Amino acid sequence: MSATVRFASALEPDTQVAQGQKPGRNARAKAPAYETHGRLVLGFAFSIEELQKRALERLPEYQSLSEQSPLPLMNMISKAQSLVYLLCDDIDHLWPQAFKGLGMGPNRNGLHIVALSHNRDSDRLRMPTREQTEEMRKILNCGEAKWYKDLAPPTKFNFRASRY
């Protein structure tokens, strides 16, 4: 499942999202129900090819790996995958609870996700505002945040502690 994040507008509140809130308060987007949709993670997704391209531009050790012959593919892939943690750091000032997620794209391809919210983990149910999401998208230079079918449920260990 891949769907664009829909934020409730203060001018036109979505009755599903705004239900039960006091008048005058801005309605906030809400995570899709786990019971209905299964385990989902909200975030910015990157294919391994995109991560490898970014790692080549950003990580000096990745460049030295790519210059070796024959190419140590497994080492390169793991370095590229760890780039997601650096991308989480890039948006830390806007969303400090960002974490690495693994999701499935519409073509059943695996994606590495700079994750912002998770509909199953009570510690990560909170969602960013539309403005925060847009600012993070600009910083990460990527597409819109979407909901992805989560392949690896978040744990306390794959949050910040296992970054390096």
What are the per-10-residue average pLDDT scores of the chain (164 residues)? 48 40 55 80 90 84 64 68 90 94 81 90 86 96 91 55 38
What would you report as the CA-atom Rg of the chain, rounded to the nearest whole angstrom? 17
pTM: 0.71
Give me the pLDDT at residue 72, please.
60
Give me the pLDDT at residue 161, please.
37
Give me the torsion for CA of 70, 71, 73, 75, rounded to 10°: 100
Give me the pLDDT at residue 27, please.
56
Give me the pLDDT at residue 93, please.
95
Is-contact 102 155, C-beta < 8 A?
Answer: no
Give me the pLDDT at residue 104, please.
83
Give me the pLDDT at residue 134, please.
96
CA–CA dist 160, 164 (Å, integer): 9
